[in-house]
Amino acid sequence: MNKEKLIRRRMQEAEKVLERGSINRAVLLYDHVIRLDPHHEKALIERFKCLFALNSPVELLTKADQLVESLPDTAEAWMCRALAYSHAREFEPAIESYRRCIDLEPDNFRAVHNLGSVLCENDHDDEGIPLLERAVSISPDYQIGQGTLLLKYYEKKRFDEAIKAGEHAPGILEQRPELRRVLGECYYATGKFTIAREIFSDVIHEFRGDEITRSMGTPVVDDTDGYDHAGTHGGGDEEYLKATYFRAVLSLQSVSAKDPGDIQAIESDLASVLSINPEHGYALAAMANIKRKEDKTDEAVSCIDKAIRLVPGDEELLRLKGLILMEKEPQAAHDLFDEVLKRKPAHAGALLGKALTLRSLGRNEEGVAAMKELSRKNPLLLQMILGALQEDDEEKSIRDT
């Protein structure tokens, strides 16, 4: 078999094994091609992509340099080098490589976008944002680029432009709820409270579908619950009321007591909701959780007690009160977790809370047994809970147990 036919066969074999996920085998086939033809462009590039998937970027920097030495006039080779250096957080050679790629291929919208992103990440927004805009002008359907612009425009408070970018990125927004939330913030900032409310509620509904988030976080409602946000205190802008409540609880899902500025912003939103409807049970629950994060136990208990009186049938409110009381009144907390478990025997948050309070009460063997039972019911559950609670003081107790 002559050399050209053998090269074609090896390249075809490499494509087939890649389709089956056999990256290491593909590397060997590309190596064979390169031995036959050291300057085979596709083999060199595809081999590097395989190595990129198998190794850390730092390990590939020398190979990235070698790639552009072999293919100095190939845009894709420079793109590969740029990606390697960018992922290795070495931005100067990454920027240099993206620029060279764009010189060779001016309409490479991905390279233009990536260069703009790296420049923005390094505080060069004046050059970076126009490049991001250029990328989507080259390819208006490039949704990753539209999503990046949404974020950058939001940071710059260019809300109308952010909304326009978000409207061009339905696919990426569907995959990334945090981007939908940013789009909701833009609508909220421009006074479009109905659209903001719909977006916020949709994101809340999505994260409530996760058992751990639902049973460990702040008790919340979304539009599907039909909760009467205004109650008997109508007359105001109910869309503003709903949007502001949803906005606050979304922020509360990710904030910690280490972020006082964020806490204050959430507290301000909740205060605004409660100034309109002082009997908004779930706004009171969210306020209780903020006070818990701030170690203001008495205020937290006052808020959650009001919420429980207003919404007596929600066991998540009892679970939150148990969480608030865990440190100072472990027996009362234990009793509350028991009450939740009577209603929902597999409730993850209550099971965890009961295990921890048993340990606090000196009933260590029972606590360890309860933790083992929790872990047996779902082998991944304990690990997920640790991740969800990494900002909370309870984490130390879990690890000790």
96 versus 388: the higher-pLDDT residue is: 96
Percent of the chain with pLDDT over 90: 69
Predicted pLDDT of residue 391: 42
Percent of the chain with pLDDT over 70: 90
For the chain, the average pLDDT equals 89
Q: Residue 176 above 80 pLDDT?
A: yes
Distance between CA atoms of 324 and 336, rounded to whole angstroms? 11
pLDDT band at 381 (very low <50, low <70, confident <90, very high): low
- CATH code of the domain made up of 191-325: 1.25.40
Predicted pLDDT of residue 210: 67
Q: Residue 96 above 60 pLDDT?
A: yes
Cβ–Cβ contacts within 10 Å for residue 55, how many? 12
Q: Residue 4 above 90 pLDDT?
A: no
Is the Cβ–Cβ distance between 350 and 319 less than 8 Å? yes
- CATH code of the domain made up of 328-401: 1.25.40.10
The pTM score is 0.83
DSSP assignment string, 320-371: HHHHHHTTT-HHHHHHHHHHHHHH-TT-HHHHHHHHHHHHHTT-HHHHHHHH
Q: Residue 242 above 50 pLDDT?
A: yes
Q: Residue 258 above 80 pLDDT?
A: no
pLDDT, average across residues 18-41: 91
Longest dimension (CA), the chain: 86
Number of alpha carbons in the 13 Å side-chain half-sphere of residue 273: 29
Is the Cβ–Cβ distance between 51 and 27 less than 8 Å? yes
pLDDT, average across residues 345-369: 87
pLDDT band at 1 (very low <50, low <70, confident <90, very high): low
Distance between CA atoms of 107 and 109, rounded to whole angstroms? 6
Q: Identify the three-state secondary structure at position 168.
A: coil
The domain segmentation of the chain, as residue ranges, is 1-54, 56-139, 191-325, 328-401
Predicted pLDDT of residue 386: 53
Tokens of 296: 């203001």
pLDDT digits (tens, 9 = 90+) for 180-193: 999 999 999 999 99
Fold agreement (191-325, 328-401): yes
Sorted by sequence, the CB contacts under 8 Å of residue 225 that are 6+ apart come out as none
pLDDT digits (tens, 9 = 90+) for 50-92: 999 988 888 899 999 999 999 999 999 999 999 999 999 999 9
Most confident of 34-38, 205-209, 215-219, 385-389: 34-38
User: Based on the number of CB atoms within 10 Å of its own CB, is 13 exposed (0-12), middle (13-18) or buried (19 or more)?
Assistant: middle
Q: Residue 395 above 50 pLDDT?
A: no
Predicted pLDDT of residue 394: 42
Which CATH architecture group holds 56-139? Answer: Alpha Horseshoe (1.25)
